[in-house]
Amino acid sequence: MAEQSTAEDAEHLSALSIGHFILSGVALLGAVPTLIYGVAGAKLMDEFGSDLSMAMGDIPGQPGLDPFGGNPDAMLQDLGSLVTTLIVSAVVLAVVTAVHLLVVGVLIRKRRWWTFCYLTGWGECLMFPFGTILGIFTILVLSRPSVKQVFGID
């Protein structure tokens, strides 16, 4: 009976590892639309910069100050900086998430760092819908006493 559960555990751990590799690729793919929209938005702001500053309150023939004392050109530059920061942050977050999931897949395959893999399973539950499914199965499989023994816990 112990041999069968060990073979079953090995099969489940292998499936979890593959699932983490796939979710890593999906997380990395999530950065592509953000990058595309970011480049398109930057190009748009560069192309229509003067028109956007007019839309933000810069009226020809009048002083270029808004009620809050700011310059519309400076506001446009601040908006560009904000958008760039948000896009770069989103892409970096997607890449870090993908690398993290890839590392967890490798660690599950090597049967090491049980606590790191287990806690990642809890965090994956926030990545709806695929991460939630993978996270629940990761928690269930890694909670088994026989799997803990394979990882060297207990």
The parent domain of residue 54 ranges over 27-96
Q: How large is the average pLDDT for residues 63-86?
A: 69
Contact in structure between 75 and 56 (CB atoms under 8 Å)? yes
Confidence (pLDDT) at 1: 47
Region of poorest pLDDT, from 19-33, 47-61, 77-91, 129-143:
47-61
Domain membership flag for residue 35: yes
pTM to 2 decimal places: 0.76
**Mean pLDDT score of the chain, rounded to an integer?**
82
Distance CA 86, CA 131 (A): 23
Question: Exposure of 77 by Cβ count < 10 A (0-12 exposed, 13-18 middle, 19+ buried)?
Answer: middle
Domain membership flag for residue 151: no
Question: What's the number of domains the chain is made of?
Answer: 1
Confidence of residue 89 (pLDDT cuts 50, 70, 90): very high
